[in-house]
Amino acid sequence: MTELGTEAMPLRVAIIGAGPSGFYAADALFKSPLSVSVDAFDMLPTPYGLLRGGVAPDHQKMKSVSAYYARVAEKNSDNFRFIGNVCVGMDVTVDELKQYYHALIFSYGAEGDKKTGLPGEALDGVHSAREFVAWYNGHPDFQHLNFDLSQKNVAIIGQGNVAIDVARILAKSKEELLASDITDTALNALSNSAVENIYIIGRRGPVQSAFTELEIREFAELSESTIHINPSDLTLNEANIEERDASNKATKNMRALEDLAQLQQDKKKKAVFVEYFKYPKSLKGVERVTSLEADVVRLEGEAFNQKAVKTGDNWSIPAGLVFRSIGYKGKELPGVPFDSEKGVIPNDKGRILDSSNQPLLGMYTSGWIKRGPSGVLGTNKPCSTETVDSLLNDVSLLPSPLLVTSDICDLLDSRGVRTVSFDDWKIIDAFEINNGKASGKPREKCVSREEIFSVLDTQKVR
Ligand code: NAP
């Protein structure tokens, strides 16, 4: 009998979600001694997931990791296909995919976000940071959104790196944003914004800040914005000293915050306030949000188990625009087990588990939908390698030969789904880079599927 993973019968794997974790999974598969062929599906007509649509447009150095992913695709072009613009669950079901592939890896990230549950969360002017990020990054499904940038005061709830990204993008000048690949629409809206005060609100203290040092330090260098940290917030109780000393991240953050709190700054057009010990309790307004109210708290209890206790003081700020930035949350895909509380696919080292905690043979997961929305881009590499190791250990158990041997693209074609290949993406990529040159930007993104198909149609006939 022909063995799976040999040239006569390559291991056929579908990756659902062609973002960083999907590309790291493909990379790990191609580095194995087996003969493998990989189809990486994405609902967008472009690859790289959050690298393109989530990483801040002014963090171009971070975006340069796309060259690594492109190399994975190009080096293995005989056995790798990017199949973009396919919505798994709608254009093709998971059960259908199972007939075409020996194994499926779900790496479609976290497409939702957590809610604060605050009274007033549904008021106009309250948005998720995820939506704002997707909008300014040119994600086609978020271009219809309107953010009222005529507001003077903006509140951001949460102090992770997403909150920092949103604050920095709001605080930057037009000239600073021009060095980024932010969309023209967002650039124009932000350049004409009336925003003056940006509050980044934390329900705990500086030692518990979820952001990282480099990101907070960037505020010291902005041309149009000052940064404000209350020095008295940086006086630590014993438990906080213990927590700081046990964490490299907290130690570095504290040093950065102390430096920033001492900056001598002239008044500028905008100001960013990093607010600690403010536990949001409501968003006020009639139809539109107008203010945010919080309980002032202090932390009490043993190190690593401190609780926020109300001091009895209230804190209130005017806020005509509010972003909740308290974490992303994964969504369920029909045909795949899901833990709706945690927003992840239940798994053991990447092997997807059924409701009795038994592995579902041939079903794997990696990235944020596997472990939750945490870590930097590089965290996805060991995460995907672990998943691929599990898959490779299962190869002898996987059912083969496949039920269907025809090309999945024929099925998608027959359903009228216009797929986008990696060669197509290279055309779009070159077009976008060229399109950015006139304004001095690294690229000007295509922001709709129609625009992408029109570029492909015109460039291909040349
Ligand atoms: P995050 O790092 O988990 O931060 C979430 C923040 O929300 C925390 O400050 C948390 O405070 C707060 N929060 C949670 N629930 C809250 C509530 N009900 N009320 C008020 N505050 C609440 O999430 P993220 O910012 O979305 O980032 C996700 C991941 O992407 C992180 O690993 C991040 O480092 C990464 N990322 C990295 C970069 C970069 O490298 N430049 C950029 C963007 C994102 P508590 O600690 O008190 O819960």
Q: Is residue 2 part of a domain?
A: no
3-state helix, strand, coil in the chain (%, to 5): 35, 20, 40
**Burial class of residue 232, CB neighbours in 10 A (0-12, 13-18, 19+):** exposed
Select from 328, 363, 381 the last residue of a domain: 328
Q: Is residue 100 part of a domain?
A: yes
Q: Is the CB of 277 under 6 A from ligand 1?
A: no
Q: Is the CB of 53 under 6 A from ligand 1?
A: no
- 173 and 77 both lie in a single domain: no
CB–CB of 158/133 below 8 Å? no
Q: Is the CB of 326 under 6 A from ligand 1?
A: yes
Q: Is residue 441 part of a domain?
A: no
Summarize the confidence of residues 172-179 as an average pLDDT. 95
Q: Is residue 352 part of a domain?
A: yes
Q: Is the CB of 63 under 6 A from ligand 1?
A: no
pLDDT band at 461, cuts 50/70/90?
A: low
Summarize the confidence of residues 67-87 as an average pLDDT. 98
pLDDT at 459: 83
pLDDT at 242: 98
- 391 and 324 both lie in a single domain: no
Q: Is residue 431 part of a domain?
A: no
Q: Is the CB of 378 under 6 A from ligand 1?
A: no
Q: Is the CB of 167 under 6 A from ligand 1?
A: no
- 19 and 148 both lie in a single domain: no
Q: Is residue 438 part of a domain?
A: no
Question: Rounded to the nearest whole angstrom, what is the distance from the C-alpha of residue 313 to the centroid of ligand 1?
Answer: 25
Q: Is the CB of 373 under 6 A from ligand 1?
A: yes
Select from 283, 313, 328 the last residue of a domain: 328
**Nearest-atom index, ligand 1, CA of 159:** 9
Summarize the confidence of residues 190-216 as an average pLDDT. 98
Q: Which of 126, 133, 161 gets mutated to test ligand 1 (max ligand atoms within 8 A of its CB)?
A: 161
pLDDT band at 405, cuts 50/70/90?
A: confident
- 116 and 236 both lie in a single domain: yes
CATH (domain of 413)? 3.40.50.720
Question: Rounded to the nearest whole angstrom, what is the distance from the C-alpha of residue 300 to the centroid of ligand 1?
Answer: 22
- Of 37, 7, 97, 10, which Cα lies nearest the Cα of 408? 97
- 363 and 407 both lie in a single domain: yes
Q: Which of 63, 162, 368 gets mutated to test ligand 1 (max ligand atoms within 8 A of its CB)?
A: 162
- 317 and 230 both lie in a single domain: yes
- 309 and 339 both lie in a single domain: no
Residue with tokens 């909150």: 163
- 19 and 57 both lie in a single domain: yes
Summarize the confidence of residues 50-70 as an average pLDDT. 96
Q: Is residue 457 part of a domain?
A: no
Separation of alpha carbons 394 and 317, rounded Å: 56
Select from 328, 360, 394 the last residue of a domain: 328
Q: Is residue 306 part of a domain?
A: yes
Q: Where are the alpha helices (DSSP H) in 117-227?
A: 129-136, 161-171, 174-178, 184-191, 213-217
Bridge partners of residue 359, in order along the sequence? 353
- 212 and 91 both lie in a single domain: no
Cis, peptide link before residue 399, omega less than 30° from 0? no
Half-sphere exposure (Cβ direction) of 11: Cα atoms closer than 13 Å: 25
Count of domains for the chain = 2
Residue ranges making up the domain that contains 42? 11-111+330-420
Question: Rounded to the nearest whole angstrom, what is the distance from the C-alpha of residue 14 to the centroid of ligand 1?
Answer: 31
CATH (domain of 315)? 3.50.50.60
**Nearest-atom index, ligand 1, CA of 204:** 47
- 241 and 140 both lie in a single domain: yes
Q: Is the pTM of this model over 0.75?
A: yes
Summarize the confidence of residues 3-28 as an average pLDDT. 96
- 26 and 77 both lie in a single domain: yes
Summarize the confidence of residues 110-135 as an average pLDDT. 97
**Nearest-atom index, ligand 1, CA of 208:** 46
User: Tens digits of per-residue pLDDT, 349-367?
Assistant: 999 999 999 999 999 999 9
DSSP 2: P
Q: Is the CB of 308 under 6 A from ligand 1?
A: no
- 78 and 147 both lie in a single domain: no
pLDDT at 46: 98
pLDDT at 399: 85
Q: Is the CB of 387 under 6 A from ligand 1?
A: no
pLDDT at 401: 79
